[in-house]
Amino acid sequence: MQAIKQTSPYVRKNVSTKRMMIDVLIALIPVVFFSIYRFGWDAVIRIVVSLVLMIGLEALIFGMTQKVKKTDVTFKDKLISKYSTYTINNVTAPAVSAVIFAMLMPSKMPIYAVAMGAIFAIVVVKMMFGGLGANIFNVAAAGRRFVSLALTGMFAGVYGADLISGATPLASLKSGMALSEVLNNYSLTNIITGYIPGTMGEINAIAILIGLVYLIVRRTADYRLVLSTFSTFLILIMVAGFKLYPTQWLDFVLFSVFSGGLLFGITFMVTDPVTAPLTRPGRWLYGLLIGSIIVLVRLFGAYAEGVAIAILFANMFVPIIDYPKWSSNKIRPRFVISYVVLLIIMGLIVYFGAGGATL
């Protein structure tokens, strides 16, 4: 008898990549439907462009990297040989990235800008790292950051002055507008239901939360990633709220939670199984890192939003978090203590950074 090294639980649910990707596509349906309802053909065109480019380019590069058999002579035989291992996963995975990326775009973003972001995301971020399951950075988040950095003027419509509607709620607050004035311009009801300027998929919290519940129930999304990221953000933003808006701290917390890309990022990007850590403690730590960076960027950074930045930054640390020498699948007391200490440290940084008592 040979012992098999495996961490608990020993009875595991067999979850295929195809099923997980289809679940994410299903969870995206409410968000996509609302974006089409709100932005019409502008949304449809950008989703289609992203889908065609990402699925098509992945298929093309996949074929280019496959070897043919020596017995294959005709073009047809070579083509069949190259795509003999091409599966439905090679379609659903880029489809998920494509839809998420499209939802991160403003409805009036020029088509060629969307195309450039999609090409960069699938070719550079994914296929150059080895393709399906090998990328270290979240594909959609990297594509979105590429567009915002390379085409900053066009991307002003996301968190700066909207291309049509005006300033987004986060940008208004970041520019120095009083919280009460921001809430007069954008009520919490409108912020939650999506009738505000912003990217196509991030603005309707109800649609996003429906997708999140579905992913949690289906166990496609790991609740540890969701809970750690959200709780870290919530605790730190509450600390900031008590200092910055002592009489409106609840309004500030609700505004911060439902504005921008926090909920969308937690639901569809933080939970990406390819770029997230494998171990349970690692996933808690990963969420702590992302939640902390989002708050730091929003409060002290140059940008009004920090979700994509936080995810990409945390992606870099996943190999360290999962390093076999110290990684474990068990949550031990010392990890809990370390996690709490780190959260307290981040809370102190936010408190003093927001103008708390000086030492």
| pLDDT tens sequence across 82-132 | 777 778 888 898 999 999 999 999 988 899 999 999 999 999 999 998 888
Least-confidence region, from 21-35, 145-159, 244-258, 344-358:
145-159
| 164 Cβ contact list (under 8 Å, min separation 6) | 108, 157, 197
Tell me which residue of 335, 249, 247 sits closest to 286, measured CA to CA.
335
From CA 28, how far away is CA 98, in angstroms rounded? 11
Pinpoint the alpha helices (H) of 83-138. Answer: 89-103, 111-119
From CA 245, how far away is CA 178, in angstroms rounded? 10
Q: Give the chain's largest Cα–Cα span.
A: 77
Backbone angles phi and psi of 167, in degrees to 5: -70, 145
Q: What is the pLDDT of residue 238?
A: 95
| Residue 145 reports pLDDT greater than 50 | yes
Least-confidence region, from 51-55, 76-80, 264-268:
76-80
| Residue 229 reports pLDDT greater than 70 | yes
CB burial readout 315-341, b (16+ within 10 A) else e? beebeebeeeeeeeeeeeeebeeebee
Q: What is the pLDDT of residue 15?
A: 61
Tell me which residue of 64, 65, 121 sits closest to 93, measured CA to CA.
121
DSSP state of 129: G
3-class SS at 167?
strand
The token pair that represents 153 in the structure block: 């003027």
Q: How confident is the model at residue 165 (pLDDT cuts 50, 70, 90)?
A: very low
Question: What is the model's pTM?
Answer: 0.88
DSSP state of 247: T
Residue 63 bridge partners (DSSP): none
* Cβ contact 200:107 at 8 Å: yes
From CA 341, how far away is CA 339, in angstroms rounded? 5
> Could you give the C-alpha distances from 138 to 41, 106, 129, 310, 350, in angstroms and in order?
27, 19, 12, 11, 27
| Residue 212 reports pLDDT greater than 90 | yes
From CA 142, how far away is CA 124, in angstroms rounded? 10
Tell me which residue of 108, 104, 14 sits closest to 50, measured CA to CA.
104
* Ranges of each domain in the chain: 17-353
Q: How confident is the model at residue 154 (pLDDT cuts 50, 70, 90)?
A: low
- 318-343 residue pLDDT tens: 999 987 766 777 888 988 999 999 99
Q: Chain-wide mean pLDDT for the chain?
A: 85
Tell me which residue of 122, 137, 107, 94 sits closest to 309, measured CA to CA.
137
The token pair that represents 11 in the structure block: 């009875």
